[in-house]
């Protein structure tokens, strides 16, 4: 399970205390939760987890914009319950843009409720033809009178159909591409906003498609000035990308914990699996990858918390390495557990299905590599 020893140089005493508390909470309250058996059950459990996490105060790091604390919480939640981690992730994605660019009215309406677990957030950016190329979004926001009219469809939206509000990105000036994108906060009950259909993942997670059909919103729902939505979206992802890496570390740590426990208990050919050098090699590689992933993750979070304007390079490195490493670690854990590792009732099998999406959302590994290369070349050329 998560252990902060390797990264304590990046943490304060209050962070270390938080890590202990949230790890204990996750072990006591979340590890034993049954996995939802279908999409409807996943949606119901996500709402339940929202309330429980809010009541326990685990969304506080989002409101405080304390990135290291958010990473610690996500790492502990992901190790115990990938769905609980997803709930936290979406509260951050949907709320941080409001904290960064919302006026007092928007902040007062949504932020306290989100942090208390009374309002579920969503981040509506992706479209059928706009995934990695976010500047290609086709949803429009047409200025009309004292407000805007939103038209378009968003897909692969987490919490679609269960969220209370959506942070939505739409084009107010399509000719300007990314410089013509604006961001809005849209209540789930806004006329013209509809939940189209669920999209069912292999791991339980509320996902779906929403549509805006002449959806009217007041100008006060806009975050920042017109045309600043793309910049706001990037700033949000830049800030929160390290927390995805932290979630990967949490899943990887749980997988390593399960693998070590099985290797020391399971006997084959008259001795424990842990005595076989091939198993030792796997465990050594898993532990080394996990430690490296944690160091990259908390280095990025520490840089942001100490005042860095952007941590684009550090966060991209952390997400790319940690998510890929977590995939390898979970896969090795399945291999060590053998048949038990593919039983639907085993936590490692659950992790095997959950970890895969981390390499895709909030920027694929390939996109992270492009970001890293771009930042390196800019520094070499003296343009950053």
- Give the tens place of pLDDT for each residue, 8-37: 999 999 999 999 999 999 999 999 999 999
Q: Average pLDDT in the 241-249 region?
A: 98
Is pLDDT of 191 > 90? yes
* pLDDT at position 233: 95
Q: Among 115, 132, 163, identify where a domain stops.
A: 115
Confidence class of residue 384 from pLDDT cuts 50, 70 and 90? low
Query: Which of 225, 240, 256 is the endpoint of a domain?
Result: 225
Q: What is the CATH number of the domain that holds 377?
A: 1.20.140.10
Confidence band, pLDDT 50/70/90 cuts, at residue 5: confident
pLDDT at 131 over 90: no
Distance CA 124, CA 156 (A): 9
- Looking at the fold, whether 15 and 150 belong to one and the same domain comes out as no
| CATH of residue 21 | 1.10.540.10
Q: pLDDT category, 1, cuts 50, 70, 90?
A: low
Query: What CA–CA distance (Å, rounded) separates 181 from 85?
Result: 29
pLDDT digits (tens, 9 = 90+) for 312-366: 999 999 999 999 999 999 999 999 999 999 998 899 999 999 999 999 999 999 9
Kindly state whether residues 76 and 100 are assigned to the same domain. yes
Indicate the Cα dihedral angle 11, 13, 15, 16, nearest 10°.
90
Q: At what angle do helices 347-354 and 82-101 cross, to 10 degrees?
A: 40
* Domain's final residue, options 100, 115, 130: 115
What pLDDT, on the 0 to 100 scale, is given for residue 156?
95
Which entry of 209, 258, 314, 362 is annotated as an active-site residue? 362
Q: Which of 275, 256, 281 is nearest to 337 (CA)?
A: 256
Could you tell me if 243 and 375 lie in one domain?
Answer: yes
Range of the domain at 366: 230-381
Q: Do 237 and 152 share a domain, yes or no?
A: no
Angle, CA of 330, 334 and 336, to the nearest 5°: 115
Q: For position 137, which CATH number holds? A: 2.40.110.10
pTM score = 0.95
Give the mean model confidence (pLDDT) for residues 131-148. 91
Residues 253 and 311 in one domain: yes
Q: Give yes or no for residue 371 having a pLDDT over 90.
A: yes
- pLDDT interval class at 135 (50, 70, 90): confident
Residue 208 and residue 317 share a domain = no
Interhelix angle 82-101/229-265, nearest 10 degrees: 160
134 and 64 in one domain? Answer: no
pLDDT at 202: 87
Same domain, 189 and 255: no
CA distance 234 to 241: 10
For the chain, what is the mean pLDDT?
Answer: 95
Instruction: Tell me which of 12-16, 64-68, 241-245, 268-272 is least confident.
Output: 268-272
pLDDT at 383 over 80: no
Same domain, residue pair 43 and 19:
yes
For residue 197, the cross-strand partners are 209
Task: State the pLDDT confidence band at 254, using cuts at 50, 70 and 90.
Answer: very high
Lowest mean pLDDT among 87-91, 233-237, 378-382: 378-382
Tokens representing 186 are 């849209």
Can you tell me the mean pLDDT for 285-298? 98
pLDDT higher than 70, residue 95: yes
pLDDT at position 322, please? 98
Q: Are residues 377 and 257 in the same domain?
A: yes
Q: What pLDDT is stored for residue 6 in this prediction? A: 85
pLDDT at position 63 is 97
166 and 88 together in one domain = no
**One domain, residues 189 and 299:** no
Alpha-carbon dihedral sign for residues 108, 112, 114, 119: negative
* Structural domains in the chain (count): 3
The 10s digit of each residue's pLDDT in 144-167 is 999 999 999 999 999 999 999 999
Take residue 127 and report the two structure tokens written for it.
Answer: 């479209």
In terms of Cα–Cα distance, which of 326, 315, 192 is closest to 247? 326
362 is catalytic: yes
């Amino acid at each position: 399970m998560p252990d902060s020893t390797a990264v304590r140089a990046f943490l304060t005493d209050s962070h270390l205390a938080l890590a202990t508390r949230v790890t204990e909470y996750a072990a006591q309250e979340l590890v034993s939760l049954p996995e939802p058996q279908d999409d409807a059950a996943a949606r119901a459990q996500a709402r339940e987890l929202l309330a429980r996490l809010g009541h326990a105060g685990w969304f506080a790091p989002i409101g405080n914009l304390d990135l290291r604390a958010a990473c610690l919480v996500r790492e502990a939640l992901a190790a115990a319950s990938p769905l609980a981690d997803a709930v936290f992730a979406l509260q951050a994605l949907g709320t941080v843009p409001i904290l960064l660019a919302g006026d007092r009215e928007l902040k007062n309406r949504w932020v306290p409720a989100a942090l208390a677990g009374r309002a579920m957030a969503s981040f509506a950016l992706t479209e059928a033809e706009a995934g990695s190329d976010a500047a290609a979004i086709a949803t429009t926001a047409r200025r009309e009178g004292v407000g805007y009219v939103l038209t378009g469809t968003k897909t692969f939206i987490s919490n679609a159909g269960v969220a209370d509000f959506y942070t939505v990105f739409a084009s107010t000036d399509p000719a300007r591409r990314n410089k013509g994108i604006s961001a809005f906060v849209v209540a789930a009950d806004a006329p013209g906003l509809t939940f189209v259909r669920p999209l069912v993942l292999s791991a339980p997670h509320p996902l779906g498609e929403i549509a805006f059909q002449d959806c009217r919103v007041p100008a006060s729902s806009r975050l920042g000035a017109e045309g600043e939505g793309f910049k706001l979206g990037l700033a949000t992802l830049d800030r929160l990308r390290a927390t995805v890496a932290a979630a990967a570390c949490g899943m990887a740590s749980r997988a390593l914990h399960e693998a070590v426990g099985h290797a020391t208990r399971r006997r084959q050919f008259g001795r424990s699996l842990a005595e076989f050098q091939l198993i030792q090699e796997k465990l050594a590689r898993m532990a080394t990858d996990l430690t490296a992933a944690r160091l990259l993750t908390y280095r990025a979070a520490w840089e942001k918390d100490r005042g860095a304007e952007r941590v684009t390079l550090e966060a991209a490195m952390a997400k790319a390495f940690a998510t890929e490493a977590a995939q390898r670690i979970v896969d090795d854990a399945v291999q060590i557990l053998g048949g038990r590792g593919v039983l639907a009732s085993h936590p490692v099998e659950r992790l095997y299905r959950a970890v895969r999406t981390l390499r895709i959302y909030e920027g694929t590994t390939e996109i992270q590599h492009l970001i890293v290369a771009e930042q390196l070349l800019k520094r070499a050329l003296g343009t950053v």
